[in-house]
Amino acid sequence: MQNQILPIYQEIDRFNYPNYSQKTMKEFLESLKEGKFRIPICQNCDSKIWPPANICSNCYSGRIRMSKLESKGRLIEHSSSFIGSSEILGLVEIAGIRLIGIIREGNLKPGNHVKLTKCGINKDNSPYYEFSVV
Ligand SMILES: [Zn+2]
């Protein structure tokens, strides 16, 4: 019996990416490393692909472009962390996607408008995000 998902792999071969399986995440992390927050967008249906993946979860297309996202969002919830240094962590929604990051200002309420002010990669290769209230 032939593999049912063959058409997807034919689509991938068409673009001739030898290391296709890691391409999107690699591009995402490389942008973050430069302090730029870019996420994959499906070229077929315009869906945001979050978390980053190589194939659109809406239409299964492998045609993906990286796109800058607006930096302003809304605070959903926040909490204090006492692991290492004391920090305020917040769950933020920007243009329909959610990120957890450090909030640099106090006196927060859910619904506050916040802005992504900094992003990058930690030494352990995990992404980090910082927000401030606008
Ligand atoms: Zn799609």
**5 inside domain:** no
User: Is the same domain home to 92 and 43?
Assistant: no
Range of the domain at 88: 72-133
Distance 59 CA to ligand 1 centre (A): 4
**What is the rounded CA–CA span in Å between residue 96 and residue 29?**
20
Q: What is the mean pLDDT of the chain?
A: 85
Distance 81 CA to ligand 1 centre (A): 37
pLDDT (tens digit, 0 to 9) for every residue of the chain, 134 residues total? Answer: 444 554 444 444 444 444 445 789 889 999 999 999 999 999 999 999 999 999 999 999 999 999 998 999 999 999 998 888 889 999 999 999 999 999 998 689 999 999 999 999 988 888 999 999 99
**9 inside domain:** no
**What is the rounded CA–CA span in Å between residue 120 and residue 128?**
5
CA distances from 65 to 29, 76, 88, 124, 133 (A): 14, 28, 33, 26, 30
Distance 79 CA to ligand 1 centre (A): 34
pLDDT digits (tens, 9 = 90+) for 94-125: 999 999 999 998 689 999 999 999 999 988 88
Number of domains observed in the structure of the chain: 2
The label of the residue with tokens 């980090």 reads 128
